[in-house]
Amino acid sequence: MQFIYLFFSGRSDNSVKNHWNSTIKRKAELGFFRDAAQSISIDIQQFVDGEVDFKCDVVLDAEPVTPEVLRPEKSMQDKEHHKAKQKTAAPPPQRSTSKRESSSLSNSFLPCSKSSPSSGTAPPAVQVDQKKFADAALRMIAEDMLPLCFVEGAGFRSFMSTISPEYNKLSQRAVALQLYDEVERAIKPQLIRDLKSCLATMKDGESAIHVTVDLWAGAQTLPVEDPIVVVQLHFISDSWQLRRPIVAFRHVSHKNLSTCVSRELEGVLLSYGIFPRSIGYVLANQAKEALATNNLFCDYKIMCTSNRGEPDGDEVLAFLSDQMSEAESPFSELQMGTRTTCAARTLQIVIRDALRNSRVVENLLSQVHNVVAFFKSSPYWSEVLMKEYNVSLCPSSSNCRWNSMMLSLRRMVQESVWSSIMTLLAQARIEASDTASAPPLVMVKREQVIDILGLLEPFEEALQVLQGNGVTMSLIIPSLIGLDKTLENCVTNYTHFCKALRTGLYTHFQPVIHQKDMILAAVLDPRIKLQVPN
């Protein structure tokens, strides 16, 4: 402590000692400066060479004294004795040299001295706003729909250590807790208030809120993962805005699945203050089954086949192949609201049933699907097709759409493309070393495929409308009527298949077009009621 005061301009040896004994030493023993000590790093070699840039986060903030106090006592006495002759005593040359040597060091304390309080307490090291950092990361994950484990990735952590190494590393658990805290403290209470307000405006609060239940589940014999229940609410707010918040993602057990689904849904609704009498329509849907039913428009077993640059293809196939049996419905114990089904999925069931009654059409479609599958699974011939004919039948899995198969078939039936593909298939058949690598036999003619596509394209257009992002309930009846009229006027060689499609529409949708709510939605939709009838 003897020479510390030399490095602090305007402070005496006694003031430094007093501040050390009365304040800093006691706080140091209590561990107040442990974090600050860890943030100080001194290169000893640079210190020996005289190149050290000394930094310290602890500020000695005693009251400054005048420069005269820094002089020896003998000089002060001489000053008082010769006050009339000499106003100030010259400091010793050695002392001035020491001050000049320490001037650059004392300047490094100026920012800390300005921000330090006059109470004598030393502020800790520069604090980073870790919560603000976690909030920003959570907002990024939500907006870009990233998994929570993204913050534990090597790339993200390397990026953060480069731009802001002072921040602590985030973990998936920390982000999940942050998300839970945001939901429970802010989002959920506000949503509960909105739901109560909605129920208060309705007569007795009956049938004011509608529910969508999605179930992601596989076979119960060899379950790959636990089933997941997703719950979404639909209601009209006080400002006449359609609200559709997703309120739950819950894991359930494979055992007694129907009971678990019913109990989980009831628990979610009660947590938001919603009782069964307030539930209107309940749309229950098995999401993985819906993807499998869509195989005519996009066969994921073909479109997601593992290929060069697409290592996740096998995982997608394993996930989609793990389907539940149709013997028992997992929604059989739902005892609330009015059960309804997805119109888009019902249209796919209509096509599936019609194909089962028209084996000829099913066989022809199978042949052209096999052609697409061959080029998808063969990088070599797919590359030859692109280089020689500038044709690609298969998009990458990342660009796969719900109607990717239909897009491939429409491209395939173009006259120039069809002849190129047939030529290349013949060449591949000659060069094949075994039957496993040989391309499929194609007996179907281009005109036959065009005829079948003409019957399926009206369904594709209807599905595109009904699966839109907007409100599509009012478009169900107009889409069904328009679809039936198109099939009625369609000229085709496959009349049996066309008749089966129309019969399926009547069978599956007859109850739907007579529902009062469906009729009101269609009649009151300004996009429809202002149209001049035919």
What average pLDDT does the segment 135-160 reach?
88
pLDDT of amino acid 400: 63
338: β partners: 281
3-state SS track over 136-164: HHHHHHHHHCCCHHHHHCHHHHHHHHHHC
What average pLDDT does the segment 151-173 reach?
88
Binned at pLDDT 50, 70 and 90, residue 288 comes out as: confident
Q: Please report, rounded to a whole number, the percentage of residues in the chain having pLDDT higher than 70.
A: 69
Binned at pLDDT 50, 70 and 90, residue 38 comes out as: low
What average pLDDT does the segment 465-470 reach?
84
Domain ranges within the chain, ordered by starting residue: 4-115, 130-184, 204-339
Does residue 6 carry a pLDDT above 50? no
3-state SS track over 203-272: HHHCCCEEEEEEEECCCCCCCCCCCEEEEEEEEECCCCCEECCEEEEEECCCCCHHHHHHHHHHHHHHHC
pLDDT of amino acid 216: 84
pLDDT of amino acid 104: 41
Does residue 16 carry a pLDDT above 70? no
pLDDT tens, position by position, 114-125: 444 444 454 455
Does residue 394 carry a pLDDT above 50? yes
What average pLDDT does the segment 89-98 reach?
46
Which residue has tokens 């529902």? 515
Q: Are 36 and 58 in contact (CB under 8 A)?
A: yes
Most confident option among 112-126, 214-228, 336-350? 336-350
pLDDT of amino acid 500: 96
Minimum mean pLDDT among 172-176, 254-258, 395-399: which range? Answer: 395-399
| Better-predicted residue by pLDDT, 13 or 75 | 13
pLDDT of amino acid 119: 47
Binned at pLDDT 50, 70 and 90, residue 194 comes out as: very high
pLDDT of amino acid 230: 93
Distance CA 309, CA 289 (A): 27
pTM score:
0.65
pLDDT of amino acid 483: 95
**Beta-carbon count within 10 A of 214 CB:** 19
End-to-end CA distance of the chain: 101
Does residue 10 carry a pLDDT above 60? no
pLDDT tens, position by position, 50-84: 444 444 333 333 444 444 444 444 445 554 555 44
What average pLDDT does the segment 262-285 reach?
92
Smallest Cα–Cα separation from 320: which of 345, 297, 303? 303
What average pLDDT does the segment 164-185 reach?
86
pLDDT of amino acid 397: 55
Binned at pLDDT 50, 70 and 90, residue 11 comes out as: low
Distance CA 254, CA 229 (A): 12
pLDDT tens, position by position, 411-442: 999 999 999 999 999 999 999 888 878 899 89
pLDDT of amino acid 472: 87
Q: Please report, rounded to a whole number, the percentage of residues in the chain having pLDDT higher than 90.
A: 31
Binned at pLDDT 50, 70 and 90, residue 39 comes out as: low
Minimum mean pLDDT among 10-19, 227-236, 270-279, 424-433: which range? Answer: 10-19
Does residue 481 carry a pLDDT above 90? yes
Does residue 18 carry a pLDDT above 80? no
250: β partners: 229
| Better-predicted residue by pLDDT, 22 or 488 | 488
pLDDT of amino acid 105: 38
> How many Cα atoms within 13 Å fall on the side-chain side of residue 197?
13
Q: Are 19 and 59 in contact (CB under 8 A)?
A: no
Burial class (CB in 10 A: 0-12, 13-18, 19+), 193: exposed
Mean pLDDT (the chain, rounded) = 78
Which residue has tokens 């699974």? 377
Tell how many helices (H) and how many strands (E) occur in the chain. Answer: 25, 6
pLDDT tens, position by position, 317-331: 666 666 666 666 788
Binned at pLDDT 50, 70 and 90, residue 192 comes out as: very high
Which residue has tokens 């739950």? 248
